[in-house]
Amino acid sequence: MRTASDNCRQVLAQGSFSFWYEADLWYDNTRRAALLPIDDIQLSEDDSRGVKANGGCTIVWQDDFARSIMPNAIGDLFSPFGSELAIYAVVSAGSFQERVPLAWMQIVDVPAMRDSTMFFKGTRITTGTVLELKLQDRFVQIQADEFDVPSSPSQLASVWTEIGALTGMKLVRSLPDAPITRSVVYQNDRLQALLDLADLLGGVPYAASDGTLTMRPKAWTSPVDTLRAGDDGTLVDIQKGMSADTVYNKVTFRGQGNAQDQVLAFSEITEGPLRVRNPDGTRSPAHRRPTFRSNQFVTTSAQAKAYTESELARVSTLSAVKWPIEEVWNPLRELGDVITIVDEQDNSVTARVVGIERSQKPTQRVTVVRG
CA pair distance 315, 294, nearest whole angstrom: 15
pLDDT at 319: 61
- Which of 130, 338, 148 minimizes the C-alpha distance to 225? 338
* Greatest alpha-carbon span in the chain: 94
Over 90: is that where the pLDDT of 213 sits?
Answer: yes
CA dist 287 → 94, 156, 195, 290, 311 (Å): 59, 42, 31, 10, 19
Give the alpha-carbon dihedral of 37, 335, 368, 177, to 10 degrees: 180
Query: What range defines the domain where residue 262 resides?
Result: 250-305
Same domain, 171 and 203: yes
Same domain, 332 and 229: yes
Residue range 71-100: mean pLDDT, rounded: 94
**Average pLDDT taken over every residue of the chain:** 91
Report percent pLDDT > 70 for the chain: 96
Same domain, 36 and 97: yes
Is 102:3 a contact under the CB 8 Å cutoff? no
Confidence of residue 147 (pLDDT cuts 50, 70, 90): very high
Over 70: is that where the pLDDT of 211 sits?
Answer: yes
Over 90: is that where the pLDDT of 144 sits?
Answer: yes
Confidence of residue 258 (pLDDT cuts 50, 70, 90): low
CATH number at residue 356: 2.30.130
Note whether residue 288 is domain-resident.
yes
Same domain, 126 and 93: yes
Is 223:155 a contact under the CB 8 Å cutoff? no
pLDDT at 359: 97
What are the start-end ranges of the E strands in the chain? 18-27, 30-46, 53-61, 84-93, 96-120, 123-137, 203-207, 213-217, 225-228, 235-238, 250-256, 262-268, 290-293, 322-328, 338-342, 348-358, 363-370
> Residues of 183-209 as b/e, b for ≥16 C-beta within 10 angstroms?
ebebeebbbbbbebbbbbbebbbbbbb
Same domain, 64 and 149: no
The number of distinct structural domains making up the chain is: 4
Note whether residue 314 is domain-resident.
no
Same domain, 56 and 164: no
Same domain, 183 and 274: no
Same domain, 45 and 118: yes
Same domain, 233 and 349: yes
- The end-to-end CA distance of the chain, in Å, is 18
Q: Tell me the pTM.
A: 0.85
Over 80: is that where the pLDDT of 260 sits?
Answer: no
- Which of 109, 100, 98, 103 minimizes the C-alpha distance to 86? 103
Note whether residue 286 is domain-resident.
yes
CA pair distance 328, 330, nearest whole angstrom: 6
